[in-house]
Amino acid sequence: MDIQHTEASDDRPSRRGFLSLAAATGAAAALGLPAFTASAAPLRPTASPLLSAADAARNQLWWRTPGSADSMIQQGLPVGNGRLGALAGNDPAGELLMISDATLWTGGANDTLQDDGQFPYGRADFGSLTLLARLTVEMDGHDLGAADGYRRTLDLAQGLVTASYRLAGTTYQRQIFASHPDDAIVLHFSQQGGGTHTGTIRLAGTHGETTTASGAGPCVSFGASFANGLKYGAAVTARSSTGKVAVDGASISFSGCEDLTVVVSGGTDYAPDAAAGFRDPALDPERLARTKALAAAAHSADTLLHTHVADFRALSGRLDIDLGTSSPAQRALDTWERLQARYRDDVPDPELEAAYLRFGRYLMISGSRGSLPMGLQGPWLDGNDPDWMGDYHTDINIQMNYWMADRAGLSDCFDAFADYCLAQLPSWTDITRRLFNTSTNRYRNSSGRIAGWTVAISTNPYGGGGWWWHPAGNAWLCQSLFEHYEYTQDRAYLEKILPLLEGAVEFWEARLLTTTVTDASGAEREVLIADSDWSPEQGPLDAKGITYAQELVWNLFGNYHTATEVLGRDSAHRAAVDALRERLYLPVVSPKTGWLEEWMSPDNLGETTHRHLSPLIGLFPGDRIRPDDSTPKDILDGATALLTARGMNSYGWSNAWRSLCWARLKDADRAYQLVVTNLKPWAGDGNGTALNLFDIYQVEPGRGIFQIDANFGTPAAIVEMLLYSRPGHVELLPALPDAWAASGSVSGVGVRGGFVADVRWRGGRVTEATFRSVGGRSTTVVAGGRTRHISLMPGESTTLRNL
Amino acid sequence: MRSPSYPTPHGAHTPSVRRAMRTVAVLATAAALAAAAPAAGAAAQAGAASPAGTTASATTAAATASAAPVRAASTPGASGIAAKPYMGWSSWSMQSSKYPGLNPDGDYSYLTEANVLKQTDALAAKLKPYGYDYVNIDAGWWRDNTWKPEFDQYARQTPDPVRFPHGMASVADHIHAKGLKAGIYLPVGLEKEGYADGKAPIWHAPDCTTADIVYPDLRTTNGWDSAYKLDFSRPCAQKYIDSQAQMFADWGYDFLKLDGVGPGSFKTGDNYDNVPDVAAWHQAIAATGRPIHLELSWSLDIGHAADWQKYSNGWRIDTDVECYCDTLVSWENSVNDRWNDAPAWSHEAGPGGWNDLDAIDVGNGDMDGLTKAERQSYLTLWAINKSPLFTGDDITRLDDYGLSLLTNRDVIAVDQSDAPVARPVTPVGDQQVWATGNSDGSYTVALFNLGSAPASVTAHWASLGFTGNAAVRDLWNKESLGTHKDQITEALPAHGSRLFTVRPGGSPLATTTYEAEAPDNTLTGNASVATCDACSGGKKVGNLYVGSKLGINDVRVKKAGIYTVRVSYVSGDPRSVTVYSNSGNGTSLPFPATGDWGTADTVSVQLALKAGTNTITFDSGDGYAPDIDKIDVPRSA
């Protein structure tokens, strides 16, 4: 073993690049806009932050065909600035952007329960995420059928969509990006070879709005409000250094333009403030959209691009991954062909598999910065009726969306999730206290007491719940929120979320029931169990002591202990909660099935291969159940048997969760196979990965819908196969599959306990591992069957070699 | 056309809910026009027609199959008829459409002397310089606007005086005066209304009346059962055909479309065997001394291809291209059927007789009912299949794009060239590549995207038998695309196409052949070795159905890579097979029909092979797969 203590520096080129960019923009740590508001002038880089063509190519997906306007959710390429999201079609004859705003929600507090004590779940009452606008840029004479060499790329490192093609001797190129610093989406059209652009720009609302020309500049816009009072608006402007750009009725026409820059902005008056009714009354979204579009368009396309790329790279550059080298034949295929070949031939394509992780990171940087967090689809819609409202599902989906954030070097992107929970807390508390114990609610507290907060299975951004009460949802949200602290060791953050933990603990203090159970030995003991609940989303509707709730409350109480200890708070209450935790019932293995029980019953009361792994929450994301001596063998075996019974053939997010569990069990083959299953190309039926790499779930024959959680859960699994951590303990390459074993590396991986790790391997063995403390002090590191212990001061790093 | 009195359902052989509904609408319309129509019966029978025909054909065609079985028809002769696929215009597309204003005096009323002369003049002015020279009058010239037929005293169809006030000879004269050729139309058999209680005399046949030309039981024939079947064991029947042929010759016609011909026209069975009718027409036309092109319609039975080749100059391989809707055609009904149906016929066409894919309605824009991409693809498929090129458009109203399609000399040259009919060189999924070799060593290559979203399509030179560089010319966009190594990929819009001339500059592809029947292969389930005269080694592996598999073992390559593997196979009808290498999942690949069970063709598939030995498996899955002859694996990827 060879431990070298070094100063907090890193001579890897990519890391150095990131640091200099961060310094240049000052934007890396700044978590922008809580809403669509006026913002300070962006910091603009003085030098080009663009990657060299070769470096860019490593991080690009590419296709030889544009997307279909009829299949944008499967074929449109996503861009986003953390609030605004858009899908781009990239057809030469008509660029199409379907633009969403993460805050453009119908619905409201939804605090009138149905007769059954549960929540309404409609687009008017609970609400739905909807599309903001549809932007088209029609290019006269640019028929795809006449274009040669068409190619479009998604640059995952720089946050760019690019399309190019040759037409009558001219090579045309377009770039599309959603700028966080300029709070706008930019489309830049250029050419080489003497051609020009002529056509029309149209901006249309999707709710029947009227687009009009506005006074200043060649700008058209619309503004309107929903029945819930939410005001919103969008605007587009354009400029060219040659040719003519002019408002023509409600559209903008352009002709003879050698280059053309189109800038669109938009937003709502949503504010993450329950006290203000989730509105900012001072905000005129249409006017602000115009202001922002025109302000951005005052800068050159290069300036806008450089500002965006510097900002984007500051995040994208925090992790790099190399799972091995793909063959020249694989590299010659475009991304869609590669997915098809991967499935057809069953030949590993490590670069494609790494690209899937890069794509997940791209989506997170694009979809989760400074606004609302990502729900079931993030800010990417192709219509106004997304399945399940595009909402926040609290019984796996929002948690899974953020499993990847800290693991993959995007801790900053997690904040949207935490900030959301904090902003909702007053409403969640109010609604819980007023309505949870409604007599018709089958999940009400038998104790008759009520305290703290919980949520429904679905939540919206207005403090409202939808569908059914989800008592244990509070504990699962807290599990995710606390884990972020474990990665970052950010005390201020912990202080911020403490009220959420406290409220959830109080809820359970009021809810837990005492009962007597008989152990296998025949001994009786008194335990605490959760009141009536539904193990998501199967089996008996109201069962007491379900494993899901028991595990989550056990986790919650433990995290509360740590949090109050770290923050030096409330030791008396901590001790009381500790005492409750000691008495919590924990699941046993069914003598009938050999599985860890999902319900307090030896019988299988649900579907054997059900999508949810709720009873395995102690295996992942929890780590109460571990493949080491700390976990009784029968529990480990029961969990493994249950996971085995759930099977290997589910869909997107469910496969991702399975893969994560198998990674925790160090079964590399199964963990990898589930990743591969999610890469199955989706072409109209079944489940799998669409042309644009969005994960598609077939909800019914012939109808596939986008579920973004798999796009995050699967990369989380990839990372989990390379590195397992819990505070004080790290294992390197716990489940490295043969396909990636030859040689590879990953840098920038988050480590629970407050570190960031870089790992290199060859022949399946770690050759070098570097740990940098972001707040952590010490941890054990296990690799190759050997254990080391490292101690670092925050900011320090150390490299282990010859492991 | 399909005479509206006795409509047959579109697409009855490819049933779908939507089509079935449309069929009802067509039937309803027709029933109002002709109460006597046994419409429902026709609909019920039609679906069963083709399978039996296919089975029957197997032995016949097998006897004549050869490596390149392009068969010369009997009729090109000195007259040069159909030496190349004919080009021109036909009246039926506009007659059959519900497009506003086309048929102001009732359904099918477009057909008038004035309209024919108008189109003649437009054809002469706009399209004749490009080779379009036939003006073909379709059904109805002898029917009034209520679709009531009219006959002369000899039971011969006679022009409706309202539609053709100056008679048919006058029209032919006008057409000839423009340097064009005149075409006319008849349904096969003796139309029922012409029977005249058996009392009508036959022209120039003193001892014959209509009673002497049919069967005593008045059995009916043709695709609509609209005629009594002629009994050619009775000499008077030939006299009747002679009298009609002479009438057309006297009028000056150069072309006859004989419609409703069976086996075909959704009919099988003795009553619908019109081979004797076609033979009689062949004889009668010869007897007139006037060269008259004889074209047969519709959905002719491929099992009788030899008959059609012997007696005619072209045969419609499919149902009407027209949609009988608010436009002339629509993509789904039934332009796109041809991609599936044409490959079976690829070996049947040649000088003297061609596979007729029906009208090309690509010139009018909105009235065609197609996107620009669809219009181009439509004409591309017709050209590479060497189909007759006759438009059903309003030639007086061609839009710029339509005119550019119809007058693209490079594309017309593909149609009129002496190259064999193109075949798919890939499986025929949504994206497909067709090709044929030209006499100058170049290839004509068409890319198609039949999917409803844009898609890229790749032509691998290996599927054409060579490797390295090739110069590519884009025929539609009229530009050189430079040199492409090993392949070309282009993005195609939904239902789009590209048409290239590919001129190899590389070298022939070195391959290793692996026979399906090799003893070391793994045959699973019912798979078994069978003799096959057309196959390499005289054997193939067949009975690949319902779970049966063929594993070709010990496929050796030196370098890992993705290879273009050429598969030789036999499949009388289109069949799919899942093909994979080693542990791959494979892809279910639709192979186009080879036409019969005695002809072998090839398609190329992409497969990853590892360095060393590999197994390539053909898995029938839960269906019926083609018989496999052999595979040719490139020595290097």
- Kindly list the residues from chain A whose CB atom is less than 8 angstroms away from the CB atom of residue B491: 64-66, 144, 147, 150, 165
Q: Give the minimum alpha-carbon distance from B332 to chain A in angstroms, rounded to a whole number.
A: 18
Residue-wise pLDDT for B15-68, tens only, equals 333 323 323 333 333 333 333 333 333 333 333 333 333 333 323 333 333 333
Q: Is a pLDDT exceeding 80 seen at residue A748?
A: yes
Choose among B481, B493, B584: nearest Cβ to A145: B493
Full 3-state SS string of B302-325: HHHHHHHHHHCCEEECCCCCECCC
Q: How many pairs of residues across A and B have Cβ atoms under 8 Å apart?
A: 95
* Under 8 Å between Cβ of B335 and B293: no
Contact across the interface for A148 and B586, Cβ inside 8 Å: no
Query: Which A residues in the span 308-347 are in contact with B, Cβ-Cβ below 8 Å?
Result: 327-330, 333-334, 336-337, 340-341, 343-347
Q: Is A148 on the interface with B (CB under 8 A)?
A: yes
Choose among A75, A340, A343: nearest Cβ to B453: A75
Contact across the interface for A70 and B581, Cβ inside 8 Å: no
Q: What is the pLDDT of residue B103?
A: 97
Cβ-proximal residues to A54 (8 Å cutoff; 6+ apart), any chain: none
* Average confidence (pLDDT) over B157-167: 98
A368-646 belongs to which CATH class?
A: mainly alpha
Q: Is a pLDDT exceeding 80 seen at residue A31?
A: no
Dump strand ranges (E) for B132-228.
Answer: 134-136, 181-187, 190-191, 201-202, 205-209, 220-221, 227-228
Q: Is a pLDDT exceeding 60 seen at residue A44?
A: yes
ipTM of this predicted structure: 0.91
Per-residue pLDDT band for B451 (boundaries 50, 70, 90) equals very high
* Under 8 Å between Cβ of A619 and A587: no
How far is A554 from A536, CA to CA, in rounded Å?
18
Q: Is a pLDDT exceeding 50 seen at residue B5?
A: no
Coil, strand or helix: which one is B81? coil
Q: Is a pLDDT exceeding 70 seen at residue A634?
A: yes
* DSSP letters spanning B245-306: HHHHHHHT--EEEEES-SSBTTB-SGGG--HHHHHHHHHHHHHHTS--EEEE-SS--GGGHH
Dump strand ranges (E) for A471-589.
Answer: 513-518, 524-529
Q: Is A145 on the interface with B (CB under 8 A)?
A: yes
- On average, the pLDDT of chain A sits at 94
How far is A40 from A307, CA to CA, in rounded Å?
14
B72-75: Cβ within 8 A, 24+ apart: B72/B309, B72/B350, B72/B351, B72/B352, B73/B309, B73/B310, B73/B312, B73/B313, B73/B350, B73/B351, B73/B352, B73/B353, B74/B282, B74/B309, B74/B310, B74/B311, B74/B352, B75/B282, B75/B294, B75/B311, B75/B312, B75/B313, B75/B352, B75/B353
Burial A766-783 (b: 16+ CB within 10 A, else e): bbbbbbbbbbbbebebbb
Mutate to test the interface with B, among A73, A347, A676 (most CBs of B within 10 A): A347
H helices, E strands: number in chain B: 13, 34
Q: Is a pLDDT exceeding 90 seen at residue A547?
A: yes
Q: Give the minimum alpha-carbon distance from B460 to chain A in angstroms, rounded to a whole number.
A: 13
Contact across the interface for B562 and A330, Cβ inside 8 Å: yes
How far is A62 from A197, CA to CA, in rounded Å?
24
Contact across the interface for B454 and A346, Cβ inside 8 Å: no
How far is A390 from A129, CA to CA, in rounded Å?
6
Q: Is a pLDDT exceeding 90 seen at residue B456?
A: yes
- Kindly list the residues from chain B whose CB atom is less than 8 angstroms away from the CB atom of residue A145: 372-373, 376, 476, 492-493, 496-498
Coil, strand or helix: which one is B334? strand
How far is A694 from A78, CA to CA, in rounded Å?
9
Measured CA distances, B115 to A147, B92, B110 (Å) = 39, 12, 7
DSSP-derived pairing of the beta strands B469-474 and B497-504:
antiparallel
Q: Is a pLDDT exceeding 50 seen at residue B275?
A: yes
Q: What is the pLDDT of residue B15?
A: 31
Contact across the interface for B608 and A347, Cβ inside 8 Å: yes
Q: Is a pLDDT exceeding 60 seen at residue B293?
A: yes
Backbone angles phi, psi at A547, to 5 degrees: -55, -40
Residue A7, class by beta-carbon neighbours within 10 Å (0-12 exposed, 13-18 middle, 19+ buried)? exposed
The region of weakest confidence among A543-552, A599-608, B20-29 is: B20-29
- Kindly list the residues from chain A whose CB atom is less than 8 angstroms away from the CB atom of residue B497: 145
Tokens (6 digits) for A411: 């801790």
Residue-wise pLDDT for B546-583, tens only, equals 999 999 999 999 999 999 999 999 999 999 999 999 99
Contact across the interface for A145 and B496, Cβ inside 8 Å: yes
Residue-wise pLDDT for A286-316, tens only, equals 999 999 999 999 999 999 999 999 999 999 9
User: What strands, in cross-sheet order, belong to the sheet with B612-619?
Assistant: B522-524, B549-557, B612-619, B575-581, B587-591
The whole-angstrom distance between residue A227's C-alpha and the CA centroid of its chain comes to 29
Q: What is the pLDDT of residue A39?
A: 76
Mutate to test the interface with A, among B450, B456, B555, B583 (most CBs of A within 10 A): B456
The whole-angstrom distance between residue B108's C-alpha and the CA centroid of its chain comes to 24
Per-residue pLDDT band for A519 (boundaries 50, 70, 90) equals confident
All structural domains of chain B, each given as residue ranges with its CATH number in brackets, are 17-96+107-189+240-322+342-371+384-401 (3.20.20.70), 424-508 (2.60.40.1180), 511-634 (2.60.120.260)
* Average confidence (pLDDT) over B162-178: 98
Name the residue of chain A whose CA is nearest to B479's CA. Answer: A168
Per-residue pLDDT band for B283 (boundaries 50, 70, 90) equals very high
Q: What is the pLDDT of residue A38?
A: 77
Share of chain B residues as helix, strand and coil, in percent rounded to the nearest 5: 30, 30, 45
- Kindly list the residues from chain A whose CB atom is less than 8 angstroms away from the CB atom of residue B456: 63-65, 150, 334, 336-337
At A227, which amino acid appears?
A
DSSP-derived pairing of the beta strands A231-239 and B561-570:
unpaired
Q: Give the minimum alpha-carbon distance from B226 to chain A in angstroms, rounded to a whole number.
A: 43
Q: Is A677 on the interface with B (CB under 8 A)?
A: no
Contact across the interface for B454 and A144, Cβ inside 8 Å: yes
Q: What is the pLDDT of residue B637?
A: 78
* Under 8 Å between Cβ of A270 and A35: yes
Would you tell me how many other CB atoms lie within 10 Å of the CB of residue A604? 17
Q: Give the minimum alpha-carbon distance from A149 to chain B in angstroms, rounded to a whole number.
A: 6
| Measured torsion, CA atoms of residues A628, A634, A635, A638, in degrees rounded to the nearest 10 | 120
- Kindly list the residues from chain B whose CB atom is less than 8 angstroms away from the CB atom of residue A346: 580, 582-585
Backbone angles phi, psi at A467, to 5 degrees: 70, -125
At A56, which amino acid appears?
A
H helices, E strands: number in chain A: 19, 34
Q: Is a pLDDT exceeding 90 seen at residue B74?
A: no
- Kindly list the residues from chain A whose CB atom is less than 8 angstroms away from the CB atom of residue B637: 329
Contact across the interface for A66 and B454, Cβ inside 8 Å: yes
Name the residue of chain A whose CA is nearest to B458's CA. Answer: A64
How far is B203 from B198, CA to CA, in rounded Å?
14
- Kindly list the residues from chain A whose CB atom is less than 8 angstroms away from the CB atom of residue B475: none
Q: Residue A674: which H helix or E strand, with range?
A: helix A668-678
Q: Packing angle between helix B235-251 and helix B275-288, nearest 10 degrees? A: 50
* Under 8 Å between Cβ of B339 and B448: yes
Residue count (chain A) = 803
Q: Is a pLDDT exceeding 60 seen at residue B239?
A: yes
Contact across the interface for B580 and A329, Cβ inside 8 Å: no
The whole-angstrom distance between residue A109's C-alpha and the CA centroid of its chain comes to 24
Per-residue pLDDT band for B79 (boundaries 50, 70, 90) equals low
> Residue B160 carries which DSSP code?
-
Q: Which candidate, B270, B296, B360, places its Cα nearest to that of B73?
A: B296
Contact across the interface for A334 and B456, Cβ inside 8 Å: yes
* Under 8 Å between Cβ of B194 and B155: yes
Tokens (6 digits) for A344: 């057809």
How far is A529 from A599, CA to CA, in rounded Å?
11
Q: Is a pLDDT exceeding 90 seen at residue A456?
A: yes
* Under 8 Å between Cβ of A428 and A502: no
- Kindly list the residues from chain A whose CB atom is less than 8 angstroms away from the CB atom of residue B586: 344
Cβ-proximal residues to B107 (8 Å cutoff; 6+ apart), any chain: B4, B29, B33, B147
At B200, which amino acid appears?
A
Query: Which A residues in the span 645-674 are in contact with B, Cβ-Cβ below 8 Å?
Result: none
Q: Give the minimum alpha-carbon distance from B378 to chain A in angstroms, rounded to a whole number.
A: 14
Mutate to test the interface with B, among A62, A63, A64 (most CBs of B within 10 A): A64
